[in-house]
Amino acid sequence: MSRLTKLRTKMTSEKFDAFLCMRPENRRYLSGFTGSAGMLLITQDQAFLLTDFRYLEQAAAQAPEFQVVKIGNEPFKTLAELDQGIEVLGFEGDFVTFEEYGKLEQNFARTRLVSRPELVNHLRSVKEPSEIELIREAVRIADDAFSEILQFISVGQTEAEIALHLEFSMRQAGASGPSFDFIAASGWRSAMPHGVASSKKVQQGEFLTLDYGAIYQGYCSDITRTVCLGEPDEKQRALYDTVLAANRAGIAAVRPGLTGKEVDAAARKLIEDAGYGEYFGHGLGHSVGLAIHEGPNLSPREERVLEPGMVVTVEPGIYLPDYGGVRIEDMVLVTEQGCEVLTKAPKDLIIIN
């Protein structure tokens, strides 16, 4: 079934006459259009792609199922004029701004506006085989960059230099860009789960956490490895072993039918039993695709059930303030029986001398 057909089936059960799609990942997913501006209006028998002068040719080439409509200064007026018979319009309330909502209300005065962002978001969570191939390639590029960065890292380099080198090698290997602002956090900074690369120099005896990924033909990868500069002491080794055991337990738990909450609990238990429960303050993972963070998540609050074709991260961590932290993140594909680990970079503790 085509993506548009799947959306229309959902629209029927929601009793929507039309759906307005504005989130860039959803717009790309449904239409194929990769431009930075535009919106989709989908009814049961028509599909419009509204975009501005800059993208008219590109839109026509990339989105053959859509009728391309040029927008000018009043995009929502143009939008409302396309179909006067819409009584119920679904839209993405998690993306539309307050200003845009005002314009929607103004132009769709007789239409009921219903926010249902999950309509397209959920379609995206089970990946098609062609999407999985692109994700595999994005992961392969990140894996290769890891073996390369191991040759590059040495005491005295800044986190920013290391992050730049990672990005450079991934772009050279065909990535269109980084999938987010890379985290390169060393020493005390590794206690910050989202310590974006800074001008701090890496020092002997420190942990260095690298959390990074590539975009390949629109699809993201996300991987974290923690290495040690010089021989680890006993505490560092114990910390690392605990996180690695939690990562393995999380991966072992991933299978269809389990909720994100259940998988999270399987990994979290190991960290709690080791006495570090309060230092693992984030969820175990998230889905990845056209966006770096998608649903469902693996977290204590996630009730959604895993299905074959979903791609999730398993990324437990322990962060000790003023000391440092460890996180190990893999991407896994949910299969009929369990899961397949996509990331291949080694995860036994790597010591850089």
Residues that bind Mn ion (CB under 5 A): 222, 313
CB of 129 to Mn ion, least distance (A): 23
- Nearest CA among 66, 58, 124, 120 for reference residue 94: 120
Q: How far is the CB of 285 from Mn ion (least distance, A)?
A: 7
Q: Whole-number minimum distance, CB 227 to Mn ion, in Å?
A: 18
- Which residue intervals of the chain are DSSP H helices? 3-14, 24-31, 56-62, 75-82, 98-107, 118-125, 129-152, 159-172, 234-253, 260-273
Smallest distance from the beta carbon of 286 to Mn ion, in angstroms? 6
* Closer CB to Mn ion, 247 or 313, in the complex: 313
Q: Is the CB of 50 or the CB of 220 nearer to Mn ion?
A: 220
Give the whole-angstrom CA distance, residue 6 versus residue 202.
50
Q: Is beta strand 47-51 parallel, antiparallel or unpaired with respect to 67-70?
A: parallel
208 or 331: CB nearest Mn ion: 331
In whole angstroms, the minimum distance from the beta carbon of 313 to Mn ion comes to 4
DSSP β-bridge partners for residue 226: 209
- Closer residue to Mn ion (CB): 187 or 213: 213
Instruction: Please report how close the Cβ of residue 78 comes to Mn ion at its closest, in angstroms.
Output: 38
Long-range (24+ apart) CB contacts under 8 A made by 178-181 are: 178/212, 178/213, 178/214, 178/215, 179/138, 179/212, 179/213, 179/214, 179/215, 179/220, 179/221, 179/222, 179/292, 180/212, 180/213, 180/220, 180/222, 180/292
Compare residues 159 and 330 and give the one whose CB is closer to Mn ion. Answer: 330
Choice between 79 and 263, CB closer to Mn ion: 263
Contact 54/33 with Cβ under 8 angstroms? no
Q: Nearest 5°: phi and psi at 174?
A: 110, 0
Q: Which is nearer to Mn ion, 137 or 222 (CB)?
A: 222
Using CB positions, name the residue nearest to Mn ion.
222
What type of residue is 125? Answer: S
| Cβ at position 164, least distance to Mn ion in Å | 20
Residues contacting residue 334 through CB under 8 Å, at least 6 positions apart: 254, 255, 256, 306, 307, 308, 309, 310, 311, 312
